Amino acid sequence: MKRPAADLITVAVPKGRLLQESSALFEKAVGVSPRALLEHTRKLAADAPEAGLRFISIRAGDVASYVEHGAAAVGVAGLDVLREEPRELYEPLDLGIGRCAVIVARPKGAAALPKGVAPRVATKYVSLASAHFAKKSLPAEIIELHGSIEVAPSLGLADVIVDITETGETLRANGLVIEEEVLSVSARLIVNRVALKLHAERLRRLIAALRAAASAGPA
Ligand code: PRP
């Protein structure tokens, strides 16, 4: 059913590496690709009235904020982002895309730190990294960075990093090896709590369609 603009459900889709896989899932589930709608344009919102949806293109790390505050009813967000900063959201579905891991990595061949010396840890996952070392009862000095984390050890800024890895290419290229896994990550469908009550039936159908598309595997 084609719906008027005011009646569309807003879906926040992440820019960057999750965009392609998210788009393929939505295309399979509801017949519309947000990527196709949003590419070749500087517009950050595009309507798909035939699916009853409006897609907005959002930085991956901001999707959960949009959904928590109700600016979008639904979104796609990595478990790394969701666990780094827990929010009041429903997480009804593991979409099985965007698989990667939050890991601790260190320079290949680096000597172990003397006992009792707190490692300096470069990361954008301050909360996950702190909790990880606290759980092991290891003191750690957390150095917050926002990107290019992998270069920090070679410059003497940190002893180890906590970051995501997907293919392992960035670690290898920067002479780092994985020491341990902190969190296994995939992308989740997230839903605003109020929207789930207001649009219960439509969202139930959308979630069911995405669940079917996700369990059918890659397009
Ligand atoms: C992430 C992460 C690594 C890289 C790992 O960065 O911070 O740098 O991907 O991927 P790989 O194991 O496949 O090499 P991203 O590209 O998401 O950009 P960012 O540094 O801006 O977060």
Q: What residues make up the domain containing 56? A: 5-98+186-216
Which of these ranges, 71-75, 112-116, 189-193, 194-198, has the smallest mean pLDDT? 112-116
In whole numbers, what is the pLDDT of the chain averaged over residues? 95
Q: Which of 19, 62, 163 to mutate to test the pocket of ligand 1 (most atoms within 8 A of CB)?
A: 163
Q: Which conformational region is residue 203 in: left (phi greater than 0), alpha (psi within -120 to 50 degrees), or beta?
A: alpha
Q: Compute, in angstroms, the gap from residue 5 CA to the centroid of ligand 1.
A: 36
Q: Indicate the pLDDT class of residue 5, thresholds 50, 70 and 90.
A: confident
Residue 129 and residue 197 share a domain: no
The answer to whether 9 and 52 have CB atoms below 8 angstroms apart is yes
Q: Give the chain's domain count.
A: 2
Asked if 114 and 139 sit in the same domain, the reply is: yes
Region 163-175 average pLDDT: 97
Locate the ligand 1 atom nearest the alpha carbon of residue 16 and give its number.
17
Q: Kindly state if the Cβ of 147 falls inside 6 Å of ligand 1.
A: yes
143 burial (CB, 10 Å; 0-12 / 13-18 / 19+) is middle
Looking at the fold, whether 116 and 59 belong to one and the same domain comes out as: no
pLDDT digits (tens, 9 = 90+) for 99-132: 999 999 999 998 888 887 899 999 999 999 999 9
CATH of the domain at 113: 3.40.190.10
Q: pLDDT at position 218, please?
A: 67
Whether pLDDT at 219 is above 60 = no
Q: Are residues 91 and 48 in the same domain?
A: yes
Instruction: Determine if ligand 1 sits within 6 Å of the CB of residue 170.
Output: yes
> For residue 109, is it left (φ>0), alpha (ψ between -120 and 50) or beta?
left
pLDDT at 58: 96
Residues 199 and 163 in one domain: no
Does residue 87 share a domain with residue 191?
yes
Q: What is the pLDDT of residues 32-52, one digit of tens each?
A: 999 999 988 888 999 999 999
